[in-house]
Copies of this chain bind each other. A is one copy, B any other.
Amino acid sequence: MEARTPGRDGLGDLIGLEYLETGPEEVRARLGVTDDIRQPVGLVHGGVFAAMAESMCSAATWLGVREDGMAAMGQSNNATFIRAITEGHVNALARPRHRGRTTWVWDVEITDDDDRLCALVRMTVAVRPVR
């Protein structure tokens, strides 16, 4: 996806975000768990889940609206933490729930390598004319 975005996703790179699929109906990405993304007691930092969702949904919305001369910018990011991840990968699957003229709404599921649900993130991305 990098080649199609206007620039570098610095935070995505920092946390090791790797895209696996970027279709219109779902976006899949993952990253490997290292000490760089663990919080002090060894669990993956909750900000990682929020950051993955933010990168994935903003980029995918932008891909969907840029041909109409529109830009995409995160408006809200609501993460609910369900189960800690301590090793392996953080796997994220994002699906659009609404593609409106002024906002897109996404649901992101975060799972561990045993396919257990670890977090849910709901992202609203604002769609606005490029200034």
Which A residues are closer than 8 A to B by beta carbons? 5-15, 34-43, 45-48, 50-55, 58-59, 62, 71, 73-84, 97-98, 100, 102-103, 105, 107, 117, 120, 122, 124, 126, 128
Contact = CB atoms under 8 A, between A and B. Distances in A.
A116 to B, nearest CB: 10
A14 B36 contact: yes
Contacts of A54: 39, 45-47, 50
A5 B84 CA distance: 19
Contacts of A58: 39, 46
A61 B124 CA distance: 20
A114 B47 CA distance: 25
B98 A82 contact: yes
Contacts of A51: 45-48, 50-51
B80 A76 contact: yes
Nearest to A5: B40
Contacts of A84: 73
Contacts of A38: 7-8, 10-11
A90 to B, nearest CB: 12
Contacts of A36: 10-11, 13-14
